[in-house]
Chains A and B, each alone.
Chain A
């Protein structure tokens, strides 16, 4: 496994896209912290980067990478190596390089300029989102044989998680505005890792607004140690359940 992992990582690094991603994050984060005179505003812009750019890059790059290395995968499958080992090395290699890129690009500036609990939470959420979207990308790439179709799916999934899901929530909220939906919303937020990480970061940041009636309900759940760890567990499930499904599918897949 180590050998495959090494090849995957070297291959990704040779790709230069990850290096570009790192530099891009670094440049944006540094400029945000340097330009904004109020640190809350800086953190807010950074939150948008983490919630939009990180999932997009992770899901697209991972999917494209898997499609491009289909020949390499076929070669490996012909060797006496377990299929699960191959897939897990792919996942580990991809997520490792994306996480490192994120930590260098965003983590270092955060530690330099904003080493508060909000900053650290943001970093943690970025790492978790990276894992989740790499895993979702693998799932799509394994299920959709055609590259164009797969990439289309991946973009659609990203759009769904970052925009359509929220639109759907808003629609439901308006349709059922006569019912008390506050508590249900806590559960619904678990269905979207991007929402979940946004709420966790905001609870650290926008405390005053979140303390309103609804905010108080979120706070009572996510604000406690217990709720926080549940949310983290849900995020981890978002990373590992798609991976598990992918693994099962990949084992039986006719390549």
Chain B
């Protein structure tokens, strides 16, 4: 009986909303021959809820500050030029939406972190489908909550670490969504500090000077399906808890101190279904505890994994170790970590009961990798007859390699990952 009445009520409320909404939204057009010729003048005229369309052209308006809840939309990528002096867009209001702009040449300053697009103390900001070129910091979120950074392309060609900023930088922020961005040529591709409860998905971060991804004190974040490749030092993550990393690709991070993924002082993390390919060190763990590493693929790395003795409760299960020069390296004899059901291509055991698991344990740490850890110049003997002989004798009677670092039930066949 009350059914139709409530329906009617809802309809009326909806209608009211619609009228209210359309009534308050004005569209302001910026461009040559349009009502407004500069973005700043349009911004001045705009009120909360307005939409500003920016038509193609070159806009050199120094620092544009958005302090109203508006939508700034570019039509066919108008160019906003910071002339290498100014921060281009500063967002200082909640709920701002910035889309389809081409932001170039922001100022470079080591005192003030100038960004191409910088958000100051604002929530619910969306920055999407923009192109940023030659900016110091690309997109910078400072004290922001629930901000979305989606499908932006952030390019730069910075030369030295001191003179360069990060592609996407978040500081003291919460619940961010950073997805589908392409970041190239910055200091760090994605940098998070004190950024929590965020999703970082499907980004490509490559060819950055330092790290593809770098975060500290950033808890409860999720990293899914990102690609980090060819960065100066790979990916380094530190001092964070409850981080989840799945389906990411870490590859081609070569160099003296390059790591596919470096974990330092991390705890309660899940690192699953990732691919580590052609890194000097696939994954490096120091002071990490309660880490679950499942179903990762390690292929063609120098060291697939360097597990320092300061780690605790690192569980490595169902991972593939293929064509790595060394499978696991470590620096001490204390082992509080566990390996189980991994596939090691260097395993030479047998499986009598045919359950797919080898009957003799596999020791992934070779004597020679211990020798190199203690005495780096011994690298000159890598793959020599001598080194092979040492490894063989050590496999028979382990004396120097940690006795407990072993996979009790290695898989006989590679896992399909």
Contact = CB atoms under 8 A, between A and B. Distances in A.
Interface in B257-300: 258, 278-280, 300
Given A48-B388, A163-B389, A206 B376 contact: no
A205 to B, nearest CB: 9
B325 A185 contact: no
A174 B345 CA distance: 31
Interface in A30-62: 38, 40-41, 44, 47-48, 51-52
A48 B254 CA distance: 26
Contacts of A216: 255-256
Given A41-B345, A48-B388, A174-B375, A212 B382 contact: no
Instruction: Point out which of B256, B384, B386, B387 has the most chain A C-beta atoms below 10 A from its C-beta.
Output: B384
B380 A212 contact: no
A173 B278 CA distance: 29
Nearest to B278: A208
Interface stretch (A75-83, A99-107, A164-172, A245-253): A164-172
B374 A177 contact: yes
Contacts of B372: 214
Interface string A194-212: 1100110010001111111
A163 B386 CA distance: 6
A198 B384 contact: yes
Contact of B383 (A177, A188, A202, A215): A202
Contacts of B376: 182, 212-214
Contacts of A198: 383-384
A208 B302 contact: yes
A213 B256 contact: yes
A170 B376 CA distance: 11
B414 to A, nearest CB: 10
Given A189-B380, A214-B380, A209 B325 contact: yes
A208 B254 contact: yes
A195 B380 CA distance: 8
A170 B378 contact: yes
A176 B118 CA distance: 54
Contacts of B381: 166, 169-170, 195
Interface in B75-125: none
A51 B385 contact: yes
Given A40-B323, A41-B323, A214 B384 contact: no
A230 interface: no
Contact of B302 (A41, A195, A210, A218): A210
B45 to A, nearest CB: 58
A181 interface: yes
Given A209-B382, A212-B302, A173 B323 contact: no
A162 interface: yes
Interface string B387-401: 111000000000000
A208 B301 contact: yes
A4 B256 CA distance: 55
Interface of A: prevailing SS: helix
Interface size class of A (residues with CB under 8 A): 35 or more
Contacts of A188: 380
A94 B374 CA distance: 44
Interface in B335-388: 345, 371-372, 374-388
A38 B345 contact: yes
Contacts of A199: 380
B385 A206 contact: no
A47 B382 CA distance: 12
Interface string A5-36: 00000000000000000000000000000000
B254 A212 contact: no
Contacts of B256: 211-213, 216
A209 B380 CA distance: 11
A181 B377 contact: yes
B321 to A, nearest CB: 12
B402 to A, nearest CB: 20
A103 B278 CA distance: 31
A210 B323 CA distance: 15
A212 B375 contact: no
Contacts of A207: 254
Interface in B312-331: 322-323, 325-326
B345 A211 contact: no
Contacts of A41: 323, 345
A215 B379 contact: yes
Contacts of B378: 169-170, 173
B224 interface: no
Interface in B130-153: none
Indicate the member of A162, A182, A213, A218 with the most B CB atoms within 10 Å.
Answer: A213
A38 B322 CA distance: 9
Contacts of A52: 385
A207 B279 CA distance: 9
A206 B382 contact: yes
B375 A177 contact: yes
B229 to A, nearest CB: 14
Given A206-B325, A208-B279, A209-B302, A47 B383 contact: yes
A188 B384 CA distance: 15
A163 B388 CA distance: 10
Contacts of B371: 170
Given A169-B378, A182-B377, A218-B379, 13 more contacts: A41-B323, A166-B381, A169-B380, A170-B378, A177-B374, A195-B381, A198-B383, A209-B302, A209-B303, A209-B379, A211-B255, A212-B256, A212-B280
6 contacts: A38-B322, A170-B371, A173-B375, A185-B380, A202-B382, A207-B254
Interface of A: 38, 40-41, 44, 47-48, 51-52, 162-163, 166-167, 169-170, 173-174, 177, 181-182, 185, 188-189, 194-195, 198-199, 202, 206-216, 218
Interface of B: 254-256, 258, 278-280, 300-303, 322-323, 325-326, 345, 371-372, 374-389
